[in-house]
Structure 1
Amino acid sequence: MRDATSLNRYQLAEVGALLAEPARAAMLLALSDGTSRPAGELARAAGVGAATASAHLKRLLEGGLLALHVQGRHRYYRLADDDVAAMLEAMAMPRISGAALRPAGGDPAVRRARTCYRHLAGQLGVAFCDAMLARGYLHAASEGLQLLPAGTEVLVEAGLEVEGVHQLSQLHGRGCLDWTERRLHVGGPLGVAMTAAMLDAGWLRRASQGRALVPSADGLRRLAGLGVRLDETPPR
């Protein structure tokens, strides 16, 4: 998907029209955890029949919001890229024009820790980003977030085993605005790689349903060693 800042008014109106249909919005939200899903599963998520789902998926593909992966006879749909995921996450943030924002509610487990596309979000994601920046493990530059060598070393010492872990500093990160916490968590390829490593190490596990991530006791202990404290997250 083209970056939002480069969209002209006609392209923006086209994206708005794609998102205005509840069934298409439901399909996009079902894919916002970074998974790839077949058309039948997306049809059930949207509550529509197969033919209607096919028409909606065709429009989303043509609009650049979805990508298609073909494996043999099977077709799997996913969000086109991290920019689409960031747009959906930002649009989920409640806004009241000219008034104070209400505290974000919803499922406490989802607010505590969840996937935003394929990276860690929620209170834990924000606290992790804050701690890594405060301790000088992450550097915020105009081009995004960069993991510094000290950050790579401390993650290895904490127990993360990432294939090519010392290549993490070469990955691009982005500050992704968290829709429940309204502060930044680590997105982009760097955020995806670090979250995948936490899942592989057992620091986090996926909930049986939905986008929630459940931190293990060992994971919380190791994250605390990096300066991550959930109780330090400012109240909303």
Structure 2
Amino acid sequence: MSLPGLPVAQVNTLALEESLAGIASAMADPSRSRMLCALMDGRAWTATELSTVADIAPSTASAHLNRLLNHGLLVCVSQGRHRYYRLAGRDVAALLENMMGVSMRAGRTLTSRTPPELRQARTCYDHLAGEIAVGIYAFMQREGWITDDGSAVTNVGKRQLEKIGVTLDPHTRRKPCCACLDWSERCFHLGGDAGAALLIAFEQQGWLRRTSGYREVTITGEGKAAFLRLFAVGL
């Protein structure tokens, strides 16, 4: 903002006020509010799915989503041919939660149509996906095994993974670690070399079984006990 003659502090105050007004305006529309409320479950959704929540046409939803993106309330994640929208961060979620407590009702919740056997556990290329994988990723992030953005395994994580038989390749040419958006849970699971190594270790230790030609993964009794003990993930 360029306002000659005004003190810097006053210019900053005006900029803050305009930004605050813009965010409030972006949230004020009922359709956009419904989208934001739906995204409070921590998952990511397509524009078409969010248009269903808001009960509006997909073309209209696109304009609303662009406004929320422009004001920093949402981020867009590309996964293959699809684009998913999610809240921009914990601070946005905290803001929405406080506002809900004062004046807003939660919007309709979307229900995944993914078959239960695929939703629980499946392969995603060469790594594990589904409810279990999302739970493991959340545990690793919470315990500091991976960085906040999921881009690297920490030293603590490397030591812990070694203890459970996961071998990481220090010379890998692919991403050593990354957050991969889970298409059924709409939260992140572990991808990259670390994700692939995790799946290999789980299979070698008999914690899960893969069926050739199918993406479904069967979790064994030993696997159920191990995932609960090591990652606090129950089935």
TM-score, length-scaled by structure 2: 0.49
Question: Higher strand share goes to which structure?
Answer: 1
Larger Rg: 2
Q: Which has the higher contact order (CA 8 A, sep 6+)?
A: 1
TM-score, length-scaled by structure 1: 0.49
